[in-house]
Chains A and B, each alone.
Chain A
């Protein structure tokens, strides 16, 4: 990957037109080939090293998941699941969980603070802590349950796809550390071609439902999976089969915003008009006493 001068193409709580030159920027993607993953967690370690995140040592839940969940200091976590296969044996499914870098990011749509969440022209979705107000709306907006609010800083955090490394022509830290090339990074088109080769190979080895996970409900993602069991994404620790920005979030952050402000302004305006036309409702003789009635 060549060095790219990254430009912002979308910002939270901001109406903007992306710069024309952004259309030419190559979209990047990280491909996670689950069939090649050995679950070594080198990616987790590299992520913590590069991003200087140090999750507090927690408790084991009896599985290999460690830490158990994504956290403010754990931006990627390997999730281990077992399923029974058609031959009656066990398939061990290992999925590297983390931000999917959606083309249509729910976090960005939900965020109320201008510029706290940005989408770069190469497809990376990044959080800007300086502008984050810690409200957690991004958590509600995300269809993958990825963002976490730090208990210490009260700021939202997640995988940045190592935007700092990518902007100087490096691959993300997790990709660099992967010993089996289960993780690869580069132009999205190239990663899709490579994924299709992997899928053909898997098909020939009996995984006839193998497929690429690049969900169109969020406009495609810049982190994609090769799923050996492509017909059962949810078996991979609940990977959503058809992720979309929730319709409740769509209403709240869509049509409701202009309708609410317009009706409030209209109600005030109606009062002004009514007062101007009908005049105040006065009591004729304010010094009236009981004799009259």
Chain B
């Protein structure tokens, strides 16, 4: 797992999957916002026009979901919240103030990353299920108008929560230096791992 230069955190296939999901997420968000708020309707121009935005959006979202299912089965067991994670989350003030010495030991993922993972899982399931109810012309006719109304609201609320979560996810990656490299090259420095994920550092290096 380790070498002289650094520690391997993500394999090539994981990185490829992550960035495909990231691109699809951006496209789904731009198209979704265009159909959500009139002030964002100009974004339909990115996809051709309003009709093309409406046609493409569910396909983009479905592709994102399928790829996320792969990530889910590969990473869910790294994201089970334990007592340390709950303590970490309750000390979010110390996290934001960079008081690393006061925080409980973090493993492969910290409490924030794990919480974000589960929010993504939940919202993406809700998005796919609710989206089916008003995906025209393929699935909407299986659902009553009452169901469609609730689905549209659930879809919008889930998307809103997911977008906020992704904003936090992106900010955390920008703020904690050395993190983007983990997903870009797959390798992190030993010092980065010791500081931000000491539990994981011990696990992969044997505590050296």
Contacts and interface: CB of A to CB of B under 8 A. Distances in A.
Contacts of A257: 36-37
A252 interface: yes
A142 B134 CA distance: 15
Contacts of A145: 145
Interface residues of A, number: 48
Given A135-B35, A260-B36, A271-B175, 16 more contacts: A112-B36, A113-B41, A133-B54, A140-B134, A142-B145, A145-B145, A248-B149, A248-B152, A252-B152, A257-B36, A260-B156, A264-B160, A267-B164, A283-B178, A287-B191, A289-B190
7 nearest A-B residue pairs (beta carbon): A288-B191, A133-B50, A13-B38, A271-B171, A252-B153, A260-B160, A282-B177
B192 A283 contact: yes
B206 to A, nearest CB: 10
A114 B145 contact: no
Contacts of A278: 96-98
B46 to A, nearest CB: 14
Contacts, number: 136
Interface residues of B, number: 49
Interface in B130-183: 134, 136-137, 140, 145, 148-150, 152-153, 156-157, 160, 163-164, 167-168, 171, 174-178
Interface of B: 34-41, 44, 49-51, 53-54, 96-98, 134, 136-137, 140, 145, 148-150, 152-153, 156-157, 160, 163-164, 167-168, 171, 174-178, 189-192, 194-196, 205, 208
Interface string A265-293: 00110010011001011111111111001
B153 A251 contact: yes
A225 interface: no
A151 B190 CA distance: 59
A114 B39 CA distance: 10
A252 B50 CA distance: 19
